[in-house]
Amino acid sequence: MRWRSSFLAKAAATVAGAALVAGCAGCEARVYGAPGNQSDSPQLTLVAPKDPADSVLAAAAPGPAVTAFDGLDVRVKQATADAADDGADITVAVLDRNTGQLITNGSDSAIAIASVVKLFIADDLMLQVAKGQTQLTPDDQQLFDAMLRSSDDGAAETFWNRGGGSAIVDRVIARYGLGSTRPPDNGRWFNTTSTVTDLVHYYDMLLSGAGGLPPERANAILNDLAQSTPTAPDGMVPGGVYPQRFGIPEGLPGEPVAVKQGWMCCVGADWMHLSTGVIGSDRRYVMAISSMQPADATEARATITQAVRTMFPSGRI
């Protein structure tokens, strides 16, 4: 987590505001096979499953007929409206990797992803290891695990500088085709920007191997994410630790999850929280949800967690 200077906060707020305006211009309901929603309430996007022959998921084991997402579009709409009532703007994307079905809330504005960029740092480093371009010492391995499990900023700074800084993000963008992801303008890793759909796309390709990372190296990342700690060291908050189980982990207590979380204050007057990860013992589902809210940290965490609970009231997908 990072606290932004007032200059960066204002700049980010301006960019985020412009992105939100641009994003909302395309927020009409697009539900394939169903009538469009003409109301003024938040709109949903339901993307029809892809032809398996055209999908990077073709190698994944086929699943049963879709039932897990029944009614999810309605619940996502409700979660978005409830969050708005609390003053929060949320973006969300949920993917069924077996069918290619993707549900979003129709908003895909770009945000600074804070510690979620540690995924990209880890991915780039693992590819270098796989190619024999570098080796991890025992100390390096300890830093790597801490960066992913407990979101250690010092570890991220070490690998960021060693890997060439913003060039890391450029390489990941190129390998994964992340069209809405950008390296930080000021070279600071936590100001990398992306969208929830890009992040879901990234996880999908990480799992399938389509991004070029060998399975054993991808598993090294995912195994660390599955051991995400309840709190993260954060010298910018009282007590020096920050709760990092908001969103997906607390919202889906009945599912095994592998998550990377991000948070930042203050973007304008807002707390930003971002919860991303892989859901299910078979790694079938991928989800990313972000929230921007002018509230204190406790309330902001509760808002994003409640949104996930509204989408999945049973605590499972």
Q: How far apart are CA 181 and CA 166, in angstroms?
A: 12
Angle between helices 196-208 and 166-176 (to 10 degrees): 70
Find the mean pLDDT for residues 294-310. 98
DSSP state for residue 69 in the 8-state scheme: T
User: According to the model, what pLDDT value does residue 2 have?
Assistant: 54
Q: Which pair of structure tokens corresponds to residue 274?
A: 């971002």
Q: What is the pLDDT of residue 266?
A: 86
Looking at residue 33, what is its pLDDT? Answer: 29
- The two beta strands, 257-267 and 2-3, are parallel
Coarse DSSP helix, strand, coil percentages of the chain, rounded to the nearest 5 percent: 40, 20, 40
Phi, psi dihedral angles at 46 (to 5 degrees): -115, 115
Q: How far apart are CA 115 and CA 261, in angstroms?
A: 7
Q: How many helices (H) and strands (E) does the chain have?
A: 10, 12
Predicted TM-score (pTM) of the model is 0.82
* DSSP, res 51: P
Tens digit of each residue's pLDDT (9 = 90 or more) over 122-145? 999 999 999 999 999 999 999 999
Q: pLDDT over 70 for what percent of the chain?
A: 79
Q: Which amino acid, one-letter code, is at 155? A: A
Please give the helix or strand (H or E) that residue 149 lies within, else none.
Answer: helix 138-149
Confidence tier at 235 by pLDDT (50, 70, 90): confident
Residues forming beta bridges with residue 194, ordered by sequence position: 111
Helix (H) or strand (E) holding 74: helix 72-85
DSSP structural state of residue 26: T
Task: Note the pLDDT tens digit of each residue in 61-113.
Answer: 434 544 679 999 999 999 999 999 999 999 999 999 999 999 999 999 999 99
CA–CA distance, 115 with 274 (Å, rounded to integer): 9
Q: Which CATH class is domain 2-311?
A: alpha beta
Share of the chain above pLDDT 90, in %: 75
245-272 mean pLDDT: 96
What radius of gyration, in Å, describes the C-alpha atoms of the chain? 18
Three-state DSSP state, 89: strand
With tokens 């609390």, the residue in question is 86
The per-residue pLDDT for 1 is: 55
